[in-house]
Amino acid sequence: MIWLTWRQMRAQTLWTAAVLAAAAAYILYLAWDIRDAYRTLVTECTTECDQAAHYLNDEFGMPLTLLGLLLLAGLAVFGAFWGAPLITRELEAGTHRLAWTQSITRTRWLTVKLAVAGGAGVVLAGSVTLLLTWAVSPLDDLADSRFHPIEFVTRNAAPFGYAVLAFTLGLAIGALARRTLAAMAVTLLAFLGLQLVMGGYVRPLYAEPVTETVTMADANTVGLIDGLALDDSGATVMGYTIPGAWVISDEMPVRMADGSAFTGDDADDCRAANVPPDECMSQKDAAFDVVYQPADRYWRFQWTEVAIALGLSAILTGAAYWRIRRGIN
């Protein structure tokens, strides 16, 4: 059965390996390029060293985001092209009636197919993401934004979980839909939809976020204020960045450290003042509350994400087994 599975997927494996080899070559080139720029701008830096992160981001931000999105799309495509046709192609050609009447149970048939095709696919996809993780690590370290939605799912352990999920999603949808093209399309959409749901609604729930009061005086040492809005009713911090952490709040009303209100009059004072508004506000002893997931929760979040992906995969695989054991003619 292992032989048959391999014989059936030989062509697609070679194709996939060729595409991935090209991707790996590009990532290696990028890794070399990144390290070259990093050496010039950071290690051997002489002037404007604090701007290095900006320069690097300008140069590599775009290809990096694209690579991340491509990797996600690649996982979806893996599910659609490897997972979905695994059963449907047999059903469409009618060859399941040949395979299922050999001296091998359907359970075993599916198990071997799953293990060989899924295993090979996950190893291939996983090695590319590990290569990517390594290639861009100097920039990731510098940017310190590991919770960024794309960065989070395309580095370290999460892509392995998602590779398994994409594959089993395709498998289960294929077993239920029984038609290759429909199953592929649904798999693509379902996987990308799942990504949005996980990032937007599920991931924030892994741990109770921390709420911390940051005084204006400390604001730019703890993290970085992205923007400040002052108006007649008071002031609001528009976005706040803490290195390595995942800041949940996006608009944080400013108040006095003792709890009293930062009024419109206070805001007027600061607008009229000659000093930058954040300096004026720290003189007035203003503060704001920020809700965030601390940086040291990264691995906890990664493994939770992997566990959820694997749990869903187990359910989907169970559905596929259930479907083929019931029999399809």
Q: Residue numbers of the site for another protein (CB under 8 A)?
A: 1, 3-4, 7-8, 11, 93-98, 100-106, 108, 326-329
Q: Shortest approach of another protein to residue 64 CB, angstroms?
A: 39
Say if CB 311 and CB 169 are below 8 A apart. no
Task: Return the number of other C-beta atoms located less than 10 Å from residue 116's C-beta.
Answer: 19
Minimum Å gap between C-beta 86 and another protein is 14
* Cβ atoms within 10 Å, residue 53: 15
Q: Which is nearer to another protein, 101 or 221 (CB)?
A: 101
**Under DSSP, is residue 145 helix (H, G, I), strand (E, B) or coil?**
coil
* C-alpha–C-alpha distance, residues 303 and 122, integer Å: 17
Task: Rank residues 40 and 102 by Cβ distance to another protein and give the closer one.
Answer: 102
By the 8 A CB rule, do 247 and 279 touch? Answer: no
Specify the residue, 273 or 328, whose C-beta has the smaller distance to another protein: 328
Question: Between residues 90 and 266, which has the closer beta carbon with respect to another protein?
Answer: 90
- Token code pair at residue 53: 């992160």
* Rounded Cα distance, 130 and 74, in Å: 14
> What are the residues facing 289 on neighbouring strands?
213
Q: How far is the CB of 83 from another protein (least distance, A)?
A: 19
Q: CB nearer to another protein: give 94 or 259.
A: 94
Closest CB 119 distance from another protein, rounded Å: 19
Q: How far is the CB of 109 from another protein (least distance, A)?
A: 9
- Could you give the C-alpha distances from 319 to 1, 50, 137, 323, in angstroms and in order? 22, 54, 38, 6
Nearer to another protein, 86 or 280 (CB): 86
Q: Measured from the CB of residue 21, what is the shortest distance to another protein in angstroms? A: 23
Nearest distance in Å: CB 6, another protein: 11
**CB distance 289 to 141 below 8 Å:** no
CB of 93 to another protein, least distance (A): 6
94 sits in the region (left: phi over 0; alpha: psi -120 to 50; else beta) called left
DSSP per-residue letters across 226-287? --EEEETTEEEEE-EE-TTSEE--SEEEEEETTS-B--HHHHHHHHHSSS-HHHHHHHTTEE
Nearer to another protein, 103 or 274 (CB): 103
Report the residue number, 60 or 109, with the smaller CB distance to another protein: 109
Closest Cα partner for 142 from 206, 78, 56?
Answer: 56
